């Protein structure tokens, strides 16, 4: 149990190392959870202090790397220097395979215009046209998606004009995303741009209502990292659901076109897909529910909510039987690993939703989350959707087009009557997400857009047994003698979702914690109690 007053004091000490503007900016991004002060407010989704060594990524990463990139039947063409394409090429471990009905999988390829200095000086449109011509010659894909990197916006290449040219020249749908790396303040802007592009050009363009079967759903914000999506599919298929599309892990443009025929949308990652969840609701009347397939209890809740939404007694019974069978199989395994992990603590710093989603899973193996934070989440991901109307727009998020959906005359339909909706809403909060702060215990720390200095400082204060984060932090943490697990790419493991995934996760954590190597590493700050340097001395 963490002491609120002690933690507040520690946070003050850490922040006191900052001066002037930096202090002013950072103090509002860090809070100690204190339910007596609820609702607590945090500052998020704004510019990082220059030079502070943030853990954030760029807008292009959010658009190409996260949302558009995993769609396997389109060629995602990076218009930019080769590094941008290369580093966003499957390092996230968004798996894909050819499933029944799939005709294409371009994910094993990395497509880039490989911009050089001369292209930056004289313009890159010619090279972009040439790349598209080659792509059509070699692959003749059903669609092409152009994703911009920083130099493209700086020199003003007209990617929209090239997309129109490509469409006319080859008759292939070509969508251009103006997702230059510097647009917005993080990956988050890229999610929004990608959502907009898919909503305008892909979703709803399918004309095959026969895809719709009983209990048709879309899964939004599930990227099949380490095979998570496949485990979710296994569960939903055995319960009799039809998955029309997944945005976008192991997903395809072909399936996304018919997403508007679904009865219900399931939102796994709220941050990256809340835009389309809302647009689908506004345009087609399709409700969405927030699900979380990470963690046993969370998975059970998601499956129960889904069954409840459809309200079919047979489906509800089938769901309970399924849950019972799965639990019977995994519980002894989880208990075995829990014996190792019990009582340990964890700090989590991940993108925009997993620092929230994984907390339940850690709790189930006996581990308490003492610090959690997001790289690029917005206030609603911390505080809940009720704050959305109060979020102030700034110059950066004004940059990104904000679309609202108009009801589609032919396709708009409501599955639930008003009364039924209200009744269920009380139980499962349809179209709502409560965010991170409400699930955390008093005295734990929430940090938005953590930087290197703060990460090291909190490591020393909280001494977690595990730091769940990404590749940028991993080895620094290891050098501190602490286990670090990559919650983005799952290191080389997975799936962690659903019932079976929980066992894989528990196994991995237990294995990591008991690795003998920790006995051999003692970081300097643990060896001698040398006086701490001030930030000014470090800089
Ligand atoms: Fe959503 Fe993601 Fe995440 Fe995200 Fe990401 Fe990711 Fe992430 Mo890395 S879409 S916000 S931009 S859950 S790549 S699969 S792990 S930072 S917490």
CATH number of the CATH domain containing 265:
3.40.50.1980
Structure tokens at 470: 């990404």
pLDDT-wise least confident of 238-242, 425-429, 502-506, 517-521: 517-521
pLDDT for 523: 72
Q: Per residue in 205-218, pLDDT tens?
A: 999 999 999 999 99
The answer to whether residue 403 is domain-embedded is: yes
pLDDT of 182 strictly over 80:
yes
Q: Per residue in 150-164, pLDDT tens?
A: 999 999 999 999 999
The answer to whether residue 365 is domain-embedded is: no
The answer to whether residue 141 is domain-embedded is: yes
Q: In ligand 1, which atom is closest to the CA atom of 94?
A: 14
For the chain, give the percent of residues with pLDDT over 90. 93
Q: Does residue 171 sit in the same domain as residue 215?
A: no
Q: Does residue 165 sit in the same domain as residue 223?
A: no
Final residue of a domain: which of 393, 411, 427? Answer: 427
Q: Whose C-alpha lies nearest to ligand 1, atom 8? A: 488
Probe ligand 1: pick from 273, 351, 355, max atoms within 8 Å of CB? Answer: 351
Q: In ligand 1, which atom is closest to the CA atom of 470?
A: 8
The answer to whether residue 486 is domain-embedded is: no
Q: Does residue 256 sit in the same domain as residue 305?
A: yes
Q: Does residue 280 sit in the same domain as residue 397?
A: yes
The answer to whether residue 156 is domain-embedded is: yes
pLDDT for 520: 86
The residues pairing with 350 across neighbouring beta strands, listed in sequence order, are 374
Q: Does residue 171 sit in the same domain as residue 214?
A: no
pLDDT of 105 strictly over 60:
yes
Q: Can you tell me the distance from the alpha carbon of 356 to that of 374, in angstroms, rounded to the nearest whole number? A: 9
The answer to whether residue 140 is domain-embedded is: yes
Please report how many Cα atoms fall inside a 13 Å half-sphere around the Cα of residue 291, on the Cβ side. Answer: 30
The residue to which tokens 């602490």 are assigned = 482
Q: Does residue 224 sit in the same domain as residue 315?
A: yes
Output helix, strand, coil percentages for the chain, rounded to the nearest 5: 50, 15, 40
Q: Which of 59, 61, 163, 179 is catalytic?
A: 61
Average pLDDT over residues 502-527: 88
Which domain does 264 fall in, by range? 209-330+383-427
Q: Per residue in 64-76, pLDDT tens?
A: 999 999 999 999 9
How many domains, the chain?
2
Q: Does residue 252 sit in the same domain as residue 161?
A: no
pLDDT for 525: 61
Q: Does residue 163 sit in the same domain as residue 81?
A: yes
The answer to whether residue 270 is domain-embedded is: yes
Q: Does residue 387 sit in the same domain as residue 270?
A: yes
pLDDT of 534 strictly over 70:
no
Final residue of a domain: which of 369, 397, 427? Answer: 427
Average pLDDT over residues 64-89: 98
Average pLDDT over residues 475-482: 93
The answer to whether residue 502 is domain-embedded is: no
Q: Does residue 325 sit in the same domain as residue 235?
A: yes
CA 30 vs. chain centroid, Å, equals: 21
pLDDT of 168 strictly over 60:
yes
Ligand 1 site residues, Cβ closer than 6 angstroms: 62, 66, 92, 187, 221, 223, 225, 269, 271-272, 350-354, 488
Q: Does residue 221 sit in the same domain as residue 175?
A: no
- What is the radius of gyration, based on Cα positions, of the chain? 23
Q: Does residue 138 sit in the same domain as residue 217?
A: no
Average pLDDT over residues 104-109: 97
Known catalytic membership, residue 147: no
């Amino acid at each position: 149990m963490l002491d609120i007053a002690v933690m507040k004091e520690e946070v003050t000490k850490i922040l006191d190392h900052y001066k002037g503007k930096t202090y002013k900016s950072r103090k509002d991004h860090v809070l100690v959870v204190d339910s007596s002060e609820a609702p607590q407010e945090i500052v998020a989704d704004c510019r990082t202090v220059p030079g502070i060594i943030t853990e954030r990524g760029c807008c292009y990463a959010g658009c190409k790397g996260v949302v558009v990139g995993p769609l396997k039947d389109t060629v995602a063409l990076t218009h930019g220097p080769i590094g941008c394409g290369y580093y966003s090429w499957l390092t996230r471990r968004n798996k894909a395979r050819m499933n029944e009905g799939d005709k294409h999988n371009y994910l094993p390829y990395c497509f880039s215009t490989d911009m050089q200095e001369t292209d930056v000086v004289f313009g890159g449109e010619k090279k972009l046209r040439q790349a598209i011509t080659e792509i059509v010659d070699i692959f003749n894909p059903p669609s092409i998606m152009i994703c911009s990197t920083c130099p493209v916006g700086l020199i003003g290449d007209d990617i929209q004009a090239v997309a129109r040219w490509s469409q006319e020249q080859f008759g292939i749908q070509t969508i251009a995303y103006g997702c230059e790396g510097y647009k917005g303040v993080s990956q988050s802007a890229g999610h929004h741009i990608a959502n907009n592009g898919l909503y305008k050009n892909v979703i709803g363009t399918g004309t095959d209502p026969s895809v719709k079967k009983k209990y048709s759903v879309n899964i939004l914000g599930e990227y099949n990292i380490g095979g998570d999506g496949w485990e979710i599919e296994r569960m939903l298929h055995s319960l009799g659901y039809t998955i029309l599309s997944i945005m976008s892990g192991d997903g395809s443009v072909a399936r996304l076109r018919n997403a508007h025929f679904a009865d219900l949308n399931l939102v796994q990652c709220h941050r990256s897909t809340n835009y389309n969840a809302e647009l689908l609701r506004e345009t087609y009347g399709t409700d969405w529910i927030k699900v979380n397939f990470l963690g046993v209890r969370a998975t059970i809740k998601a499956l129960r909510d889904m069954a409840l939404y459809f309200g079919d007694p047979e489906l509800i019974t089938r769901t309970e039987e399924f849950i019972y069978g799965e639990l019977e199989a995994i519980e002894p395994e989880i208990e075995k690993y829990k014996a190792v992990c019990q009582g340990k603590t964890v700090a989590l710093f991940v993108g925009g939703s997993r620092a929230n989603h994984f907390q339940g899973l850690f709790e189930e193996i006996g581990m308490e989350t003492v610090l959690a934070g997001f790289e690029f989440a917005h206030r609603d991901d911390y505080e809940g959707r009720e704050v959305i109307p109060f979020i102030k727009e700034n110059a950066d998020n004004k940059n990104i087009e904000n679309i609202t959906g108009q009801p589609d005359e032919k396709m708009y339909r409501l599955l639930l009557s008003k009364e039924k909706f209200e009744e269920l809403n009380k139980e499962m909060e349809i179209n709502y997400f409560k965010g991170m702060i409400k699930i955390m215990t008093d005295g734990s720390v929430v940090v938005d857009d953590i930087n290197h200095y703060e990460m090291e400082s909190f490591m020393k204060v909280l001494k977690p047994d595990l730091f769940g984060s990404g590749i940028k932090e991993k080895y620094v943490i290891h050098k501190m003698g602490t286990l670090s697990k990559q919650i983005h790419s799952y290191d080389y493991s997975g799936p962690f979702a659903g019932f079976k995934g929980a066992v894989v996760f528990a196994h991995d954590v237990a294995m990591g914690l008991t690795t003998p190597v920790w006995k051999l590493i003692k970081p300097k700050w643990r060896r001698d109690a040398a006086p701490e340097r001030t930030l000014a001395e470090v800089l």
